[in-house]
Amino acid sequence: MLVEIIDWHRRGTRYNIHVDPCDGLIYCGESGTQLTWMDAKIGDWVVTPRIGKPVEVNALWYNALQIMVELADLLHYPTSEYQQMAEQAIVGFARFWNPELGYCYDTIDGSQDDDSLRPNQIFAVSLPHSPLTPAKQRGIVDACGRKLLTSYGLRSLSRDHHEYKGKYHGDRFERDSAYHQGTVWGWLMGSFALAHLRVYHQPEQARMFLQPMADHLMDACVGSLSEIFDGNAPMQPKGAIAQAWTVAEVLRAAAYLKIKH
């Protein structure tokens, strides 16, 4: 199954999803489609199309290739094919880094490289296998900490971006147009806490990032965690009052910190 997944990405599948043989990165998307988790669509308008090579998709791709190397080695299968793919992908991933801004482009090789500061790049630090140097990992954590971090997760877009929307309210059009344009997503807190731990080696600080989520258990749906929050203070909880992926990511990070540190 895992071998087939890798093979299908190389061969290509629907929505123009394929590995670019030139740099080993995954390209995805076509007009009128929304493929990543930032998937809001209003009629024919894709709010955040992200056509090209999304940063988190390729961080996950590199991580998957390195895991395939490890699994093949454990099972006494040849590892050279996956190792070569991983080596090509890590070289290609270097193109995401924007040295002028000190963090990664959100997408590259679309109509233009998108330099808006979004939280997707945090996965290039939090995943077990990072394609970035320690200095660049720190740059991402610092940039996200300055512009995106709130008590309840990461904003989906930096406050200083001209398309930032700090309130999730109104009719469906207003809500969906803000969904990934500044709204805070609780599920991202887990990855931020683990990315911060990786860079700064401060487990107590990492735990502190999760504490407001523990306090939030009594705020909306008692005993659970909300899907999203306003980007502007006081970050009122919005969306689903009990969201599985918020709960899962906070628990995952908390369990890791308890077991490992």
A 10 A CB-CB count for 181 gives 23
Q: Last residue of some domain: 82, 105, 133?
A: 133
Tell me, yes or no, whether 104 and 157 share the same domain: no
Cross-strand bridge partners of residue 17: 13
Tell me, yes or no, whether 153 and 100 share the same domain: no
Provide the pLDDT for residue 240: 96
Provide the pLDDT for residue 69: 97
Provide the pLDDT for residue 212: 97
Give 218: exposed, middle or buried? Use CB within 10 Å, 0-12, 13-18, 19+.
exposed
Q: Give the model confidence (pLDDT) of 67-97 as tens digits.
A: 999 999 999 999 999 999 999 999 999 999 9
Range of the domain at 176: 148-261
What is the arithmetic mean of pLDDT over 121-149?
A: 98
Tell me, yes or no, whether 106 and 197 share the same domain: no
Evaluate whether residue 142 is within a structural domain.
Answer: no
Tell me, yes or no, whether 73 and 100 share the same domain: yes
Count: domains in the chain: 2
Tell me, yes or no, whether 204 and 260 share the same domain: yes
Residue 19's H or E segment, with its range, is strand 18-19
DSSP letter, residue 118: -
Tell me, yes or no, whether 110 and 216 share the same domain: no
pLDDT band at 1 (very low <50, low <70, confident <90, very high): confident
Tell me, yes or no, whether 153 and 253 share the same domain: yes
Evaluate whether residue 138 is within a structural domain.
Answer: no
Tell me, yes or no, whether 4 and 77 share the same domain: yes
Provide the pLDDT for residue 260: 61
Sign of CA dihedral 94, 97, 103, 106: negative
The whole-angstrom separation of Cα 177 and Cα 230 is 13
DSSP alpha helix (H) spans, the chain: 2-11, 55-74, 80-93, 123-126, 134-147, 172-178, 188-200, 203-216, 244-260
Provide the pLDDT for residue 258: 87
What is the arithmetic mean of pLDDT over 106-128?
A: 97
Question: Among residues of the chain, what percentage have pLDDT more than 90?
Answer: 97
Q: Is the pLDDT score of 261 beyond 90?
A: no
Q: Last residue of some domain: 86, 103, 133?
A: 133
Evaluate whether residue 139 is within a structural domain.
Answer: no
Tell me, yes or no, whether 10 and 94 share the same domain: yes
Evaluate whether residue 90 is within a structural domain.
Answer: yes
Provide the pLDDT for residue 259: 65
Tell me, yes or no, whether 185 and 258 share the same domain: yes
Tell me, yes or no, whether 119 and 153 share the same domain: no
pLDDT band at 225 (very low <50, low <70, confident <90, very high): very high
Evaluate whether residue 179 is within a structural domain.
Answer: yes
Q: Last residue of some domain: 133, 160, 194?
A: 133
What is the arithmetic mean of pLDDT over 209-234?
A: 96
Tell me, yes or no, whether 125 and 198 share the same domain: no
Q: Give the model confidence (pLDDT) of 189-216 as tens digits.
A: 999 999 999 999 999 999 999 999 999 9
- pLDDT averaged over every residue in the chain: 96
Evaluate whether residue 259 is within a structural domain.
Answer: yes
Evaluate whether residue 143 is within a structural domain.
Answer: no
